Structure 1
Amino acid sequence: MKHVIKPFKTLAVSAMTLAGLASCEKEMPIKSNDAYFSTAEFKKNLKAALAGARGYQFAITQNGQVADTAEYGIATVGGAKSDLDMFINVASVTKTLTAATVVQYMLQKDVTIESKIGAWLPASWAVHDTIKKLSFKQLLTHTSGIRGSATEWSSLMTTAASPITAPQSYEYSNINFALFRAILPKLHDSAKFRQRELSLPAADFQLWMSQEYMRLVNLHVLSKAGIPARGCAPVTGKMSMMMTEGPYRLIGSDFGDWSNKCGGGGWVLTTMEMARVIVYLTHSDNILSPEERALMDNNRLGWVARFPVKGGLAYGHDGALYVNRNKEEGLNGGDVGSQTLIIKLPAKVELALGVNSVKDGWRDLYDIVAAAYNKSWVNN
């Protein structure tokens, strides 16, 4: 299947420029010694670095369109082939979706990234003063002092009621972004939010907030990238799995339903849909205005990585999920897992990647991509 992403029009070469070349037909062209980026080399380098995975799939885009793709190996223990259009839990790539949604409210209401979150949490929650005083920016940059990774509603409410005792310096926590499952619906329509909070039983109100959060991400991000409505639940019959890598016995695990714990992780997309998201965030004003894009990039809102590569800076977010199957602490050989990544690079290049297995530790996807990208510049 040929995949095309066209967020903007392609410029055509004017016929007038050709007329002036007639007198030069017999002259030898002058070759430039300048290096250019080769998507073919990038693909080759990535495939070499990902050797050993049970399966992977990636899409390389340049100038807003698909330049090359790769599908390798299997996506499930049943032997389903790795496929760009098979669904995967994108894990923490979710944070970029959440941030891109939040940013669109920062320049439309009397709210900035420095505003305090207290007024935007449910009034029915017990909220400690140290939580009320946190800024949107602190949540979006993991500098809140919040610790922990459990993102169910009970965990969010416990976090909100507890004092912050850890340093308010960078420390990655899924809870920071999962709190937007409660904050975004109130940002969108505070009157409707309050009406639901007063009229619904607690469990139903939590369900409504979850559904409203997913509706808003669809509205503000996915639909603007031409992606049908998605969510945080598995897509029956079309899901990849988390798997082991050799030499360990092939076993796998499903991702499960994240509908009531998403925000920091959990969105279910295809790798090609991840490619659409990063292309539209980068090359189009459909999702973000230039001002919103600058706000997101300059403050690293929803980008966990920003690092130098040839020609400029790369911005990305990766995701990683695993299930402990060998009963040893942490990720080890015999556990099952998967990794994802979206990243924008200089030379108007982007990458969306899904890896369907883990071995005895996480792949450093940023090092892999940086090395593959830097080696993909060739001379004419």
Structure 2
Amino acid sequence: MKTSTRQRLKRSTLTLASFAAGFAATFLPLTAMAAATLQVVQGSGEFQTLDTAVTVTAPTAFTMQWTTDQVGAAGGTWKVSNANGQVVASGEATPAPAVGHFLRFTIPQNAFLPASVASTQKFNLSIQPHNGVMQAMGAASPNVLITEVPATTTPPIVFGPSANFPKVDIVNYEEKIGVVPLTQLHYAGADITLRITNKSKVVTDPAWLAVKDTNLLMRQNTSGVSIPSLQPGASTTVSVHLDAVLPPPTSQMPEEQQYNQWNAQYRNVCGPQLSSVLDWRGPQAQTPIGSHLESLLVKEGWRDYAKVPPSTPICQGNQCVRVCDIEKNIHAQLDGKVTGYSYFVGQYPKFGHHGDARTAAAAPETAFKSNTKITVASVSKLVTTIAAVRLIDQKAASMPLGLDTPIGAYLPSDWALQSKYIKNITFAQLLGQRSGIKDYGNVSMDYAQLKKFFTQSTNAMANTSCQGSGVKNPANPVNVNDQSWCYSNYNFAIMRVLLPKVAGFAEDANQATRPQTLANQYTSLVQQNVFNLVGQNGVSCKPPVNSTNYAFAYKGPGSNAQGTDWGDVSLICGAAGWYLSVEDMAKVMLSLNAKDGKILAASGGKDLFNTMRLRGLGWDVDNNGELEKNGGWGANCDGNNVCDNITTSVAMFGPVTGPRVLGVLFINSNITGGGGAQGVLEKAYNQSLYIKP
């Protein structure tokens, strides 16, 4: 969701008048907020609430959540006072949370509450941030009221129904950060369009809606938005504007310094972390249980994968990684060193990007965003593998078919196959790069080329070794005596021919139209067996129709050339060629990692994703600590053999049995200084690992 200042300055249509009306009058300094906040955490999981008043009938342990806006705070001293103002308990909460984050601590049940009381007793609980030498920093938090009442035998209480709130999702999020052209006037904010939907079977309760940024970078500039009761299945959309929460001025140039500090904090916490806040809006006397609900706020269609916020470290034993650290490492490696890129890392649907998908030389200039399509080169092999594994598993229930089935029966019936060995190559051998094919296949993978290759004879006496990308059309390209791993585009391009027959499509008898027929059928099968299943519809092996939101390839940053438009590559798709966005691939990876069964079966003793891992199907790296598939595609090379280039990578880092960190990175040029997307992702992950103290 991040947008670089450079891009925003180029594309902003904001006028000086609209700036003054829309931004300058609404910024609120951090000093308008409490220096610290303190709340009681009640409930668990999705039903957690944060309260500032709690009533109990017996000693209770309290989980407390606190924040501070004091940079450099080392901890906080909590204290409990009775109704007479006497301190009856105190303790330390260390370390202090970073600005924009929260931490939790526990107060034991025997800390201050009597075992029983004859009459109501009230206690005030607060926390005071301090530095490393215990000097107070800022103001103490407002009090949390703890009330203990006598435990009495009363008739059972019949509670009313809990509040029924709608679901809230982001339809569109656009940040506006920069400087008004030809002025020194800064601005920072965001516009959000939200869809509020009743996904229950009963009418929702009326509510007030607000958007909250846990990282304290932005604040809604209006009071809560009134949301009416919604009938089952009904929805409505609302727009909300967020303004930057600026630090207080500290110099003779207050605004510039304020924005510099704000931008530094933005980079430090990797942007906003948004939640929706719903509060009951009906008559107070009818207030139901659970009248307040906070939920993580993500793009529409991503709710299934918004379980843990990105600020939560991902740990396996004592080894942890913070997603924000990975993001910052990616930006440090790539900003200003490529034309453009987009990425996804972690387990939570939050994305980043920088630079251009298309430069001004290929007008219209277009920012590279998380929904920007790009031909992903050999990452297409992973896509083809997932589709093949699922389709073969689906068809195995009604026909003698499996990954170890020979491909001969699924090649076109009019291909004159001359090699028994080629007929008996299995689907698994192709998908695992262990077919005996030693030709890299750095040629056009069209229908005619595939037919020529797979109908050739083989030489049992030949001992051809695995060839690199620089060798084209080697003699005896199939080694019948060696099924060791060897990278070849032929292994995956042929799936464009095989999978339609596996699916039961009738063979097109017209030789002139068959290549396009097979390409269309293959595209449809991948859509149906991969992307449509997770709501990423319309992906294809050609640029999006009537849209400029797809990336060209460039030689590097600052290039004045128009770049390479790969165009429609449907007729060679399979080993390469899919036009995907980071969002398209991230949704697939999140589903596979969650083993939710949407794409690959993961129940009843069957785990197809683990089958892919164990058999090395579709991956370039497939060890117990990393699964990775990368791609690269160059064209329009100059005299120094520098080409317009695409470099892509999809990865899962972490142990097989533990939490994994997912990564997707698509780049549309060479990287200044060399390297590719795989190396960037691996370095960003490995350099962000740390050991818990």
Q: Per the shorter chain, which TM-score range?
A: 0.7 to 0.9
Once the two structures are superposed, what CA deviation does each residue of 1:158-198 show, in whole Å capped at 9, x if it has no partner?
11111344433222111110111111111111xx42xx33x
Matches within 5 A, 1:241-256: 241-246=552-557, 250-256=561-567
Alignment match, 1:111: 401
Q: Select the structure of larger CA radius of gyration.
A: 2
Output the TM-score relative to the length of structure 1.
Answer: 0.84
Give yes or no for contact 1:114–1:136 (8 Å, CA) kept in 2: yes
Residue 49 of structure 1 aligns with an amino acid whose one-letter code is Q
Shift of 1:361: 8.5
Alignment match, 2:519: 210
Residue among 327, 341, 361 paired with 1:56: 341
Q: Which moved more, 1:293-302 or 1:45-54?
A: 45-54
Residue 233 of structure 1 aligns with an amino acid whose one-letter code is K
SS in 2 for 1:184: helix
Alignment partners' CA distance in 2, 1:251 and 1:170? 38
Give yes or no for contact 2:432–2:617 (8 Å, CA) kept in 1: yes
SS in 1 for 2:571: coil
Shift of 1:224: 0.8
Residue among 596, 611, 620 paired with 1:295: 611
Residue 50 of structure 1 aligns with an amino acid whose one-letter code is L
Give yes or no for contact 2:338–2:672 (8 Å, CA) kept in 1: no
Aligned length: 354
Residue 174 of structure 1 aligns with an amino acid whose one-letter code is N
SS in 2 for 1:256: coil
Higher RCO structure (Cα 8 Å, ≥6 apart): 1
Shift of 1:81: 1.7
Shift of 1:377: 2.6
Give yes or no for contact 2:665–2:677 (8 Å, CA) kept in 1: no
Output the TM-score relative to the length of structure 2.
Answer: 0.48
Matched, 1:21 2:61: yes
Matched, 1:305 2:599: no
Q: Which moved more, 1:362-371 or 1:286-295?
A: 362-371
Q: Which moved more, 1:39-48 or 1:341-350?
A: 341-350
Alignment partners' CA distance in 2, 1:254 and 1:20? 65
SS in 2 for 1:218: helix
RMSD: 2.8
Matches within 5 A, 1:213-228: 213-228=522-537
SS in 1 for 2:403: coil
SS in 2 for 1:353: strand
Give yes or no for contact 1:322–1:338 (8 Å, CA) kept in 2: yes
Give yes or no for contact 1:61–1:275 (8 Å, CA) kept in 2: no
Shift of 1:66: 1.7
Give yes or no for contact 2:358–2:552 (8 Å, CA) kept in 1: yes
Alignment match, 2:423: 132
Alignment partners' CA distance in 2, 1:117 and 1:86? 36
Alignment match, 1:90: 376
Alignment match, 2:357: 75
Once the two structures are superposed, what CA deviation does each residue of 1:230-289 show, in whole Å capped at 9, x if it has no partner?
211112422210001157654411012111110111111112212112112221210001
- Give structure 2 stretches of 5+ with no counterpart: 3-43, 65-77, 79-89, 96-314, 459-475
Give yes or no for contact 2:647–2:676 (8 Å, CA) kept in 1: no
Alignment partners' CA distance in 2, 1:216 and 1:23? 51
Give yes or no for contact 1:126–1:157 (8 Å, CA) kept in 2: no
Q: Which moved more, 1:94-103 or 1:160-169?
A: 160-169
Alignment partners' CA distance in 2, 1:155 and 1:360? 35
Once the two structures are superposed, what CA deviation does each residue of 1:86-132 show, in whole Å capped at 9, x if it has no partner?
11111111111111111113434122222211111111112232210
SS in 2 for 1:70: strand
**Larger proportion of strand:** 2
1:277 and 1:361, CA in 2 relative to 1: closer, same or farther beyond 3 A?
farther
Alignment partners' CA distance in 1, 2:613 and 2:375? 24
Alignment match, 2:296: none
